[in-house]
Amino acid sequence: MKKQNYSYIGISFIILLFGIIFIPKILNRINNDGVVDKDRHNLERNDTQNDTLAFIGNKKVPAFQFANQNGDSISNADYKGKVYVVEFFFSTCQDICPVMNQNMQKVANAYPGENVGIASISIDPTYDTPEVLKDYAQAYGITHPNWNFLTGDKEEIFQLSNEGFNLYAAEGMDEEDQFQHSGYFALIDQEGNIRSRIDENGNPIIYYDGLSEEGVQMLIEDIEKLL
């Protein structure tokens, strides 16, 4: 009989201990919508990571110097102190370029001031002279003071695209497919570093999709983080 009483006492002690340890945690989770202190700490850390833009690589954007649509010499130094966006395109492109530049206009409209710039670099500089690019800018109604359409040495431009930014650009195989290039935009900070949003897995997206509304909206939001 005494042995049985000891068993009851032992079971009661275990139940009491369980209540002391676990019931406060359960109540805490309920009162905080299912998030306990440790979980909340993780969420705050993740939110902080999402607000921080990653640096892509350890090097700055390579130096470049080209002519813009007004015939003025423009270099990367002209963008120092500004947040700016870089794209590669060509004026006779009828495929992705019109979509890219319509979306780029959304970026320009969101930041019309002097602290944000855009560099649209032609991969067909033989045809895209400053005069052609000026007509192109006027056709799109572009008036942003820091949006430069740039042209120059083809070899330098292709090297800048493929090696400097790792954005694909190449000559096509025939007349119908004269040039091939990426539809992505690169975001550059005031010191010339390529910057990028971090995805939900903690990895940088590296570049922004210039063909999608989502990509352009992310770019607009992330420019604000650098200003």
196-199 contact pairs (CB < 8 A, 24+): 196/53, 196/54, 196/56, 196/222, 197/50, 197/53, 197/54, 197/222, 198/49, 198/50, 198/52, 198/53, 198/54
- pLDDT confidence bin for 28, thresholds 50/70/90: very low
The CATH classification number of 55-226 equals 3.40.30.10
Look at residue 57 and tell me whether its pLDDT is greater than 90: no
> How crowded is residue 225: how many other Cβ atoms within 10 Å of its Cβ?
14
Dihedrals φ, ψ of 194, to 5°? -75, 130
The Cα 80–Cα 16 span in angstroms is 67
Predicted TM-score (pTM) above 0.85:
no
Residue 167: what pLDDT? 96
CA atoms within 13 A on the CB side of 178: 14
* CA distances (Å), origin 73, targets 2, 10, 51, 113, 217: 99, 87, 35, 21, 31
114-146 pLDDT, tens digit per residue, is 999 999 999 999 999 999 999 999 999 999 999
| pLDDT confidence bin for 175, thresholds 50/70/90 | low
Of the listed ranges 65-69, 74-78, 91-95, the one predicted with least confidence: 91-95
**Per-residue exposure over 101-125, b if at least 16 CB sit within 10 Å of its own CB, e if not:** bebbbebbeebeeeebbbbbbbbbb
pLDDT, residue 35, reads 34
pLDDT grade for 173, boundaries at 50, 70 and 90: confident
pLDDT, position 25: 42
User: Which carries the bigger pLDDT value, residue 192 or residue 39?
Assistant: 192
Separation of alpha carbons 133 and 111, rounded Å:
22
Lowest-confidence segment of 48-52, 148-152, 199-203 by average pLDDT: 48-52
Domain assignments of the chain as residue spans, ordered by start: 2-51, 55-226
Answer with the residue of higher pLDDT: 80 or 23: 80
Residue type, 222: D
DSSP at 123: S
HSE of 149, CA atoms in CB hemisphere, 13 A = 28
**Rg of the chain over CA atoms, in angstroms?**
28
